[in-house]
Structure 1
């Protein structure tokens, strides 16, 4: 049985977050956690928290099962664009340059390897 965790309006551009999402897609949960824990890019911290949250959601759904027995896998992860904050930066000759501060939405689905193979 799969479990979902969502992260909305994370203040990082989607391009930077997708680089990390591509790293952990399809991996075992333990391996994905280790990759995110020691990765130098700054979006790895909220993504690691999101993965821990998805594991906790899976534990609540499957109270009788243990995580070690289930062989949990990052089934799907996708990053969508969030809201854009528009700000102005002073520029020469009285002008103003627009600065777009981007954010993203991340959705992560965790499932056990046994059920993924059956489908």
Structure 2
């Protein structure tokens, strides 16, 4: 049995989120929360919330034991990009993208 939680359109690029998600893959939930709490990254705070939500879903919806939970899967997909323009010299404009991501965390019982 496994429980899942998602955060959609998070204002963090998927590659930066994947770096943090690699830290928690396969760990117990309490160890993963500790490592996320001390990771100095914007994505770490969002991933911590998603992990807490997945653990709460496992306990409430499926009656799983919190002490036996581990992170089975954690991944980040690309969401929609916001296209913006930055003014540069001589009246021109350069385009750039604000990337977003969909973060998914799946927990299961050992």
Same fold, judged at TM 0.5 (above)? yes
Say if 2:66 is the partner of 1:67.
yes
- The secondary structure found in structure 2 opposite 1:43 is helix
Moved over 4 A (4+): none
Select which of 95, 106, 109 maps to 2:106. Answer: 109
Corresponding residue for residue 9 of structure 1: 9
Distance in 2 separating the partners of 1:49 and 1:28: 16
- The secondary structure found in structure 1 opposite 2:42 is coil
Corresponding residue for residue 23 of structure 1: 23
Q: Residues 46-92 of structure 1: CA distance to partner in whole angstroms, max 9, x if unpaired?
A: 100000000000011233x4312xx1110001110001000110011
Distance in 1 separating the partners of 2:12 and 2:103: 11
Q: CA RMSD in A?
A: 0.9
Distance in 1 separating the partners of 2:84 and 2:66: 45
TM-score by length of 1: 0.89
Which has the greater radius of gyration? 1
Asked whether the equivalents of residues 65 and 109 of structure 2 are also in contact (C-alpha less than 8 Å), the reply is no
Corresponding residue for residue 78 of structure 1: 75
TM-score by length of 2: 0.96
Structure 1, unaligned runs of 5 or more: 114-119
Corresponding residue for residue 44 of structure 2: 44
Structure 2, unaligned runs of 5 or more: none
